[in-house]
Structure 1
Amino acid sequence: MPKAFVPLSGEPLLSHCISGTLASGVATRIVVAVPEALVREARVLADRAARESDADPALVDIVVGGADRIESTARALARVPECEHVLVHDAARALTPPAVFHRVVAALEAGAAAVVPTLPVTDTVKRVRTGRGADAQVDPGTAGEELVGDLDRNLLRRIQTPQGFARAVLEEAHALQRRDPDPAATDDAGLVERAGHTVVGVPGDERALKITYPIDLAIAAFHLEEEPV
C-alpha cells in the first residue's frame, strides 16, 4: 500500500501527519496529494484529523498526485495560488514536531528563499565504485562494490521535511524542471538549488525520521508513546 496509508499505532501515517501539521499552527491551507484510487479514503482521514484537532475540515484539500514526488508537489501548489510561502512535507515523516515547522517558517519570514531542516551525519560515509558506470544503481553490500574513501561527515547533513520556500522561487524551480528535466532530482530543495537559489538549513529533529523500513515503524511508535504529537 502507499506509505502514507501504512498504520502507525492504529492510525495511518497520513492521519498523524495532518494532525501534526495542524498542531503546528503554521498552516493556513493543507493540500494532500494521493493516488486517484485513494482520494475518498484520504478525504475521510483528513476530515477526522481536522475534527479531532478542532480545525475546519475545509482547511485540508485533497488532490490526485502525479507520477512522482515533484509532479505531485506541482499539482498541490496549483491549489494554493494565494500563498506567499509554501511548505512541502512528506507523510512518511509523520511525527515531525511543531517546533520544526516553526523554525522553517521563521527562516522564511526572515527572508530565506528556501529552508530545510537538517541533522548531522553520525555514521562514517564512504563513496562506492561499482565498475558499472557513475549512474549505476546497486544494492548496498552487493558483491563487487569497491569502497574508495571517506566523506567528511562534518560537511554532510541529513535532510528532513517540511521544506519551506518562497512561492515564486519554487514555481521558478518547477518551471525549469519542466523545460529541462533532471532525472536525478529527488526533492524540491534540489530543484531550487539547481535554479541558482541558496538553500539554508535549520535544526531538524530525530522524531521527524523518514519511515521507510519496518523497524522505522517501531522507532516511530516508541516516539509516539513517549511524546505524542
Structure 2
Amino acid sequence: MPVAALIVAAGRGSRAGEGLPKQYRRLGGRSVLARTLQVFRSHPGIRRIVVVIHPDDRALYEASIQESGPAGELPLLTVSGGETRQISVRRGLEALEASPPEIVLVHDAARPFVDEAVIDRALAAAREGAAAVPGITVTDTIKMVGPCRTVTSTPDRASLRAVQTPQVFSFRALFEAHRKAAAAGLHAFTDDGALVEWAGHAVRVFDGDPRNVKLTHDADFHDAERRMSEGFMTYLTRLGTGFDVHAFQEGDHVWLGGVRVPHDRGVLAHSDGDVILHALTDAILGALADGDIGTHFPPSDPQWRGASSDRFLAYAAGLVRQRGGILDHLDATLLCERPRLGPHREAMRQRIAEIVGIRIDQVSLKATTTEKLGFTGRGEGLAAQAAATIRLPETAP
C-alpha cells in the first residue's frame, strides 16, 4: 500500500517550560524531532513523509533533519502549520492531495520513543478498516468529575484505553473528515481518531506501547534523559514453547496458521482447532510464564465454542506489549501426513504476522511427517509444536 507519514511538529509546547519548543529540545544529544524522524525515515513501509512545522522554526527544523540521519531517496515535504493541531494536520494532508497515498500515519513529533513494531502494527491495522489508533490499557481508576469537583461516575477501566500515535487512516477518509469539520467551523479536535469518529467512521484500537510516551512536561524530559543516560531499561530475552494436537473427524477443511485449508477431514475441537495458532499462543504464554491457552480461554466456557484462533494468538501478543515487551520471532512445525503445508505456507506466514503485528520475516513455518508412525502417521489427526522468542524489560541494576 502507498503509505505516507505526517509528523505534527508545529506546536509551541508551552507546558514543557521555557526555552525551545519541546520538539526541538535536546534529548541524548539530539533534538526530539530528529529522533522521531529517524524512526519513520528508516521504516521500509513508509514512502513519503510530511512534516508540519511552525514557520518561525525553519532553522531548527533543518538542523533536526541533519541530525536524523540519511534517508536515501525518501521524499520529505515541509508544510507550515496553523493555529491548532487540527488545522496543521489538514495542511499536511493538503500537501499530499495532488498525489495522494492510500494510507496515512499521523504522529506527534513529541513521541520520540515510537519504534518500528508500533508502526508495523499500525500498517497491519490499516488493512482492516478506514481508521485505527494505538491504545494501552489504563491502570489507574478514572473518575468523571462535575463542575464542583464532585465525582459523577467511575467508568469501568477494562473498557478504557489511553490513546497514542501513530494513528493510521485511509487518506481519503481522513481528508474528507478534516474538510467536513472545517466546513462546520470546528477546529479544536486534538485527536484525529476523534475527528474521524465524529465524521461517522468506525475507529479500531490496536496495541500501543507503554514506552511510546508523549513528552509534555519538563519532568517528562528528565525521565527520558534518565532512561537514555542511565540505561533505565534493559531487556531479558525469553524463549517459550508450545504444542497442540487435534484428532480428525468428518469435515471438508481444517484451519492452519489462520488459513482455511480444504481437506477431506475436519478436526474435533472446542474452537476452530487451528493447531499452529494454538501452539504459537502457548509458546508466547510460556515465554511470559503466564499459564497456557486453557488458562486464559477455558474450554468449559461456551463463549469460546467455535472461536477463531486468531483471537487467542492476538491476545497473547497483546500481553507481551502490555508488559512493555517485544515479540521477536515465531517458529512453528506442523506434524501430519496430510494436508500439505507447502501450497499455503506464505499465506499462513503473512496471516500470522498480521495477527501479532510483526514482519513476515519474523515468522517461520515448517512441516514434517512422522514416517507413518504414531497417530499422525496413521492419519488420525495432526499436531504442531512452536517456539516464541520475546524480550521483556527489566530494571537495570
| TM-score of the two chains, using structure 2 as the length reference | 0.50
Aligned to 1:141: none
Verify the 8 A CA contact 1:43 1:62 in the aligned structure 2. Answer: no
**CA distance in 2: counterparts of 1:100 and 1:222, whole angstroms:** 23
> Deviation per CA, 1:162-188, whole angstroms, max 9, x where unpaired?
011001100110111111133552111
- Within the alignment, does 1:104 sit opposite 2:122 as a pair? yes
* Count of equivalent residues: 210
Verify the 8 A CA contact 1:97 1:207 in the aligned structure 2. Answer: no
Are the structure 2 counterparts of residues 38 and 211 from structure 1 closer, same or farther at C-alpha, using a change threshold of 3 Å? Answer: same
Aligned to 1:29: 48
**Which structure is higher in strand share?**
2
**CA distance in 2: counterparts of 1:222 and 1:161, whole angstroms:** 23
State the AA in 1 paired with 2:93: L
- Within the alignment, does 1:76 sit opposite 2:92 as a pair? yes
2:60 is aligned, of 31, 41, 46, to 41
**CA distance in 1: counterparts of 2:62 and 2:79, whole angstroms:** 10
Question: Which segment is superposed worse, 188-197 or 212-221?
Answer: 212-221
Partner of 1:201, secondary structure, is: strand
- Within the alignment, does 1:130 sit opposite 2:147 as a pair? yes
- Within the alignment, does 1:19 sit opposite 2:19 as a pair? no
Verify the 8 A CA contact 2:133 2:205 in the aligned structure 1. Answer: yes
**CA distance in 2: counterparts of 1:210 and 1:177, whole angstroms:** 26
Q: How does 1:138-177 map to 2 (within 5 A)?
A: 145-177=149-181
**CA distance in 2: counterparts of 1:164 and 1:221, whole angstroms:** 29
State the AA in 1 paired with 2:132: V
Aligned to 2:72: 56
The structure whose Rg is larger is 2
What is the CA distance between 1:68 and its match in structure 2?
0.9
1:93 is aligned, of 99, 111, 114, to 111
Partner of 2:68, secondary structure, is: helix
Question: Which segment is superposed worse, 193-202 or 183-192?
Answer: 183-192
Partner of 1:75, secondary structure, is: helix
What is the CA distance between 1:211 and its match in structure 2?
0.8
Residue identity over aligned pairs, in percent, reads 34
Partner of 2:143, secondary structure, is: strand
If asked which structure has higher relative contact order (CA below 8 Å, sep 6+), I would say 1
| TM-score of the two chains, using structure 1 as the length reference | 0.85
Are the structure 2 counterparts of residues 15 and 67 from structure 1 closer, same or farther at C-alpha, using a change threshold of 3 Å? Answer: same
**CA distance in 2: counterparts of 1:7 and 1:37, whole angstroms:** 18
What is the CA distance between 1:217 and its match in structure 2?
1.8
**Which structure is higher in helix share?**
1
**CA distance in 2: counterparts of 1:87 and 1:222, whole angstroms:** 29
Task: Show structure 1 runs of 5+ residues with no match.
Answer: 132-144
